[in-house]
Every structure is written in C-alpha cells, then in structure tokens.
Structure 1
C-alpha cells in the first residue's frame, strides 16, 4: 500500500485505507504493523553483520514521533537476534529547572539541547565505549529535578547494544568525546502523507499533532486547544535543534501507521466538535483538522491494536483483565 514519491515521503491513499478499514480492519492493522517491524528488522539485521563490538545507537525524532516505542522495539529485536540491549533515555539527563535556559517568552526552554547535561552525557557514552560501564542519573518530572539516590549503573560487554533515545539524539554535541565512528544514528518519525489522489489531507506534522493531542488528553488532561497553542513553539524547537541533523542519520525509520487516522477519529472528533470558548486564532485550525479527519472511516475497536504498537504510546496500553 505504501508508495514513495519524489520527495522521499511515503504516500498513503485515503480511499484505500478506508476501503480496507470497512472490509477488514484487522488486516489493515496487521499490514501497517508489519511494514513498521520490517524496517526495524532490516536495521537489526544490517547492524548484526559485525558483532565483534558493542554498538551505541543514538535514536532521535521530533515530538510524537514514536521514538520511545521504537527504541524498545529495536531492543527486543536485537535480543531476539541474540544480543543484549539496553535503552537509556536522554530525558534523565535534564538539568534542574533552575539551570534550564529560557526561551524568548522567558520560560524554561525544555526543547533546547542546552536543557540537557551535555557534559554528563558525553562522559557516560565515553565510559560505556571504553570501560563497559557507567552510572546515569534519574530525572523526576514531578519535581523537575534530579532524583536524589536515583542513579543507575549500566554494565555492558561483548556485542551488547545500548540505545540512547531522545529529541537530541542526532546532535554531535552529545558524542564529542567518543567521535562519530563509535555511534550509529537513527532518525525515527512520521514520514508519510495521507492523500486523496493529488490532494494532501494529512501531512506528517498533522499526524504528529494528532498523536500529541490524543496523548496530552489521555495522560495530561490537556485539551486539543492547549496542545495546539504550544505546537508552534514545539515545531520551532525542532527546526532549530533536530532538523539540521536529520541527514546525518545512518538509518531513517517511518513510524507512520496507515490506520491511525481511523483510530484517532473516535478519540479526537468528539473534542474537536465542541469549540465553545476556543480562541479565534485556534478555531480555524481545529475546524480544518476536524474536517480532514472526518474523511476517514472510524475504527472504534482499539482492543485489536497490539500492545507494542507505536499507537499505544499515545492512546495508552490495553487494560489487562
């Protein structure tokens, strides 16, 4: 189903997706998940051809790209291939809020790479490469500070794999000590458009915004309007700190799932329908997104989505009975 256009984006046709969703959405979901996992398998297979050393992977992606799920999916795939794998989150290297740089509005700029403890990250990666062990901090997002006594030791050996994931995973500032040749870089993001023949319905950025809206609503009790209000700032940070390094990646993964507009239909449309009290500058954008999402057939059976799916990062895990 996925096609590649001259701009190197995948193209997903709305009519094909809707037809499959109506006829057999189980098959639609299975095919989309298979496309994603084939990409993961290809990376693991290629990286496992030389297994005489530890592999350090820096995995990056913009907001709502599914990079956390991708990091753990990669780890499981390496383990299935006979290699131990550990995931380290760059989020644990955030500086305390009082040390965080401010954005142009005078608020802590958590999108900036300088919100991270760059020196500590370099030291940890260097120790992993040259000593086989390091100690990493734990960041407490409730207190916005390092967790006292929360340090964890990471020990690796042989051909183990360490996956370091976060917004700034591609930035060379994080690997100044060990050098580029010691690190494999992976960029994971939504890289496909949803189209109706020649008309683009949803861009990759639209899909990420939908994901972010659903996740914020579910886990942070944040309205779609509130997510929309901060979205431009998020994208500005990505343009400054992430996009310049995309082409340095050794691998690029497309985390788009063909069926996600069909799933997000039932999650978002009820909230987008109620526009009472919405600021005028956001009304038109939300209305436009509503109209475009309403073109997709509604799949309201979320139980059919695998527990390890990228979508689960946004709608939440299936409750065990």
Structure 2
C-alpha cells in the first residue's frame, strides 16, 4: 500500500503512514499525549477533525481543549449533544442557543409553556450523560442539498435549512447523532465519549450550558449573574423583532429582495434613539453629573459613540468636552510588563491614576488645567498647549478601557459620575443552534480598521488578538456591571457590509502563516452572508469609525 509522509509538530519528526490513515489513527500510533484528550488537529494550518484521512504529505499538530480551536470543537459537539438530549426529554420543545454569557451559553426552550425546573435540568443532564456513556459517534454525511434541507425542515430547523439553501451548493454535509441531524458551522469531535465535563443550570428564564476551563479541564468556568448584560441581550432580541431579522438567513432574504437599505435605516435610527435616551438620563441628574465615563473592549466603537453622545448632550443644552484616558499613560519606562516581559498597556497601572484624579478635582473646582497629550512614538506624555476649564453647563466625557474600574476615580463622588459600557453584542444568530460570537464581530471590525488606518496586515491583527482578548478579560469585562447603562454598538446589517472589506484582507493571509487557520475560519463564516452595499450608511454611523467616511474628526 502506498504511504504518505507527515511531519508531526508534537513529536518534531517525520512519520510515514498508509494513504487514507485517519488523524485519530495517527495520534494513537504516535501516542500523542496532551494535558487533555486530543480532540482535533491543525493540518497545513487548517483545523481538521480527527476523522479526516491523510492522502498527501501534511504538517500536523494535534490539539486539545487548551487550544482555541480545540475548545471550539468541544463546544460545538456539546451543543449538539444538548440538542439531542432535549429532543429525547422534550420532543416537542424548540431548543435555541441565544448568546454567550457568564462563561457559558444561554439557551431557551420554546414551547415548554412553564418555567424550567431543577428536575427538568436533571433529566436533560441525565440523558446527556447516558449518551456520553454510550460513546455515540458524530457521523458526517454528504447529502444532495435539497435532501439536507428537507431533512432539517422535518426536524423543525427552518432557519438552518433556509441558510443552507441560500448557499446554492449541490451537496451539503450534515452531522448525525443516531438519526438526528445538525450542522454547527465547523468540525466536531469523533464521538460523545470525548465530552467529559460540562455543566447545565437554570439561568434567568432559560438554561446556561457551562463549558470547562481551557487550562484546567476538570473544572468548569465560574458562573455569575449579569443583569445589565442580560438585559441588553434581551433588548437586542426586541430590536431584531422590530425589523424581523434575527438570523443570517432572514438578513440575506432582505438583502436579496433589495431591502438592505431599509435594515440600515432602521438600525441606525434605533442607535440614535438609544443614544438620545442615554443623554436624557444624564441630563435628568439635576446637574450632578460632571463626568461621563465610557468604557468597552477593542473595536466596540467607543470613540464615535462618545462623539454622538456629545451631540445629543448639546441638544439638551450641555457643552461636552472630550478627554481620552490614553493621554494619561505613564511614560514608557514606567509602563508595567506582563508575564512575558512585554509592555502591558491595558493594565490600570499603565495610567497615571494620581495625576488623572488631581486634574479631575481641579477641573471640577473650576480651575483651568493643561491637558496632557501622549506621544506614542516617543512613549512620553507631552503638553501641546490645550487647556480645560469647566463652567456651568459644561460636562466632561472621558473615554478609555478602565472607565468602569472603581479604582480609576477614587477621589470623585459617585453622584458626579455616569458610567456607560459599550460593546458590539451581535444581534443576529447563524440559526437556531449557532450564535455569533461578539468577539468575531469585533475582530472583523479591528482587522478592517488596522489595515485602513494603521497599515497592519490581517495576520498582524489576528496574531495580536489573543493578547487583546486576555487584557479585556482581566481589565474590562469584570467591571462591566458597574455601568449605569450599557450600549450595544452592533447593528443588524453590519456583517453583510464588513464582508466586502474583510474578505480581501483575510485572503492575503498565506497558508504558511500560523494565522491562516483563523483567517480561513473567518472567511468561511463570512461566506454565509450576502453582501450589503454600504452607500446608505450615514457618515455619523459607529460603523464609519472602521470603514471610513465618518463626518467626525478622530
């Protein structure tokens, strides 16, 4: 039998195997041992499932759940398992994955017609465990697309069927667990026996599916309740209901029927209405609010939001003044370093807190202060002659990632502040079982902005993204519930617009680059969207901060 040679990064050596050997057989033969069970592989810098068979020379790296792509494989398989268990316990209930929250995935059971009880959760978990114990295979099958669509429709997965049909492909592959079919826009584990840890609890009016920690698989991620974040997710459902666009399929349907402009207009009007409402809340504080703090993760649109809020505050008779926390960075040699010895610009200690508080107190007392300007090229704080003195009717808008941190303004009374947390909480889902990650939405925004304004290639942005996300998890998200109000900067239409700008950038990532795997995943994701023309996006839109064409000066 003809053999193929592979290079295994885990062993650091070449090996020969019969043509058609599966990755699972190769990992077993090489006795690959990771911290946890091998769940997939990176083959020529593309993610593959363990059932993938090698017929040509390949470079292979086996991965487990400590790897980002590995945990994605695990989560998709876990969601399919949950779906199958619910179909067994509640055959007539519609199961929907809504969004990621509290280190888990919020799911709804529509048609149960009563509150979910602890006994319901116990029954579902028991069924899931019995399927795990049976080690049932996830079987991948290629079907003629009309057959796949018909099968999904019979299972009640109308949204999934609609999206697959829109792709116009001759064949479609589905995964099967016993006789139940599903597709979760990515690879799965070989079988249910690979799922060794999960949690399931009642959460608000639904369920929370809890996944293991990446670095400590035996422990589940910590669960907490995020009332304000959950409320904003519920608001997004209402907004999607107003336009009747809750999935990619329904958005594509509007686009194909020439109604993309209508979605843009309504989405932008909803944003303007929300910003006006926030401005009214601030103005109603009887003049107590002296500073508005705006915080949020990377590519959430903080800068444009602060400018649009300033316009609405001006409509209410206030005079806004904008200040960036970035200008209060300590000089480069005093910047803290992370565990790798790199400058940690996202740590609170990277800001001169004492100096910032001193200036804020002086400003609130009516004194004139000289505003700093941070020179990022020299790594030093400078003074360019700008001054600030507040008079009655003036209000300060401070933008920066630490705005929700209680240690930022330690010497300012709470009643004098108004905190706004902003993030791009994607408002549509792929279909019933696949939510769209808010992080993916922001990564696409940042990829476009970095290329347009900073000269970075998509590979550069993708390479930096894990570090950015780590900083957000440490410095931003733990404080988001401190906000007086949250604002969702995502729009229903934007992924259809971002497609046009992001695809050419992602296609420039080469196969021999480590970032090729992530670029390929994002391209596959964008392939499901029909492109929306951006001509009707107004110059004041938050999206213009990334696309260009904004009427605001940055």
TM-score (norm 2): 0.54
The 5 Å alignment of 1:1-321 reads 7-8=230-231, 9=233, 10-11=236-237, 12-22=246-256, 23-131=258-366, 133-147=368-382, 149-200=383-434, 202-280=436-514, 282-299=515-532, 301-317=533-549
SS state at 1:146 partner: strand
1:77-125 deviation digits (Å, cap 9, x = unpaired): 1101211111111111112211111122212111111111111111122
* Change in 2 beyond 3 A, CA 1:277/1:171: same
Please report how far the alpha carbon of residue 261 of structure 1 lies from its aligned counterpart in structure 2 after TM superposition. Answer: 0.7
Please report how far the alpha carbon of residue 19 of structure 1 lies from its aligned counterpart in structure 2 after TM superposition. Answer: 2.2
Which structure features the higher share of helix residues? Answer: 1
SS state at 2:404 partner: coil
Please report how far the alpha carbon of residue 54 of structure 1 lies from its aligned counterpart in structure 2 after TM superposition. Answer: 4.9
1:182-236 deviation digits (Å, cap 9, x = unpaired): 2111101112343133133521111011111010111112111211111111111
Please report how far the alpha carbon of residue 133 of structure 1 lies from its aligned counterpart in structure 2 after TM superposition. Answer: 4.0
Whole-Å Cα distance in 2 between the matches of residues 52 and 265 of structure 1?
44
CA contact 1:71–1:163 (8 Å) conserved in 2: yes
Please report how far the alpha carbon of residue 277 of structure 1 lies from its aligned counterpart in structure 2 after TM superposition. Answer: 4.5
CA contact 1:303–1:318 (8 Å) conserved in 2: no
CA contact 2:337–2:343 (8 Å) conserved in 1: yes
1:12-49 deviation digits (Å, cap 9, x = unpaired): 42122222233222211111111111111111112222
1:56-97 deviation digits (Å, cap 9, x = unpaired): 111100100101111111001110121111111111111221
Whole-Å Cα distance in 2 between the matches of residues 76 and 97 of structure 1?
34
Whole-Å Cα distance in 2 between the matches of residues 183 and 132 of structure 1?
19
Alignment-derived partner of residue 3 in structure 2:
none
Please report how far the alpha carbon of residue 278 of structure 1 lies from its aligned counterpart in structure 2 after TM superposition. Answer: 4.2
CA contact 1:269–1:290 (8 Å) conserved in 2: yes
SS state at 1:304 partner: coil
Whole-Å Cα distance in 2 between the matches of residues 308 and 144 of structure 1?
32
Please report how far the alpha carbon of residue 290 of structure 1 lies from its aligned counterpart in structure 2 after TM superposition. Answer: 0.8
CA contact 1:193–1:203 (8 Å) conserved in 2: no
CA contact 2:289–2:415 (8 Å) conserved in 1: no
SS state at 2:498 partner: helix
* Change in 2 beyond 3 A, CA 1:288/1:73: same
Whole-Å Cα distance in 1 between the matches of residues 421 and 443 of structure 2?
18
Q: Which moved more, 1:50-59 or 1:81-90?
A: 50-59
SS state at 2:434 partner: strand
TM-score (norm 1): 0.91
Query: Structure 2 unaligned runs (5+)?
Result: 1-97, 100-105, 107-204, 206-229, 238-245
CA contact 2:295–2:302 (8 Å) conserved in 1: yes
1:226-250 deviation digits (Å, cap 9, x = unpaired): 1111111111111111111100100
SS state at 1:131 partner: coil
Whole-Å Cα distance in 1 between the matches of residues 287 and 399 of structure 2?
23
SS state at 1:87 partner: strand
Alignment-derived partner of residue 69 in structure 2:
none
Whole-Å Cα distance in 2 between the matches of residues 288 and 169 of structure 1?
33
Whole-Å Cα distance in 1 between the matches of residues 398 and 326 of structure 2?
10
Whole-Å Cα distance in 1 between the matches of residues 503 and 405 of structure 2?
37
Whole-Å Cα distance in 1 between the matches of residues 414 and 281 of structure 2?
18
Please report how far the alpha carbon of residue 275 of structure 1 lies from its aligned counterpart in structure 2 after TM superposition. Answer: 3.7
Please report how far the alpha carbon of residue 166 of structure 1 lies from its aligned counterpart in structure 2 after TM superposition. Answer: 0.8
Q: Which moved more, 1:151-160 or 1:40-49?
A: 151-160
Q: Which has the higher contact order (CA 8 A, sep 6+)?
A: 1
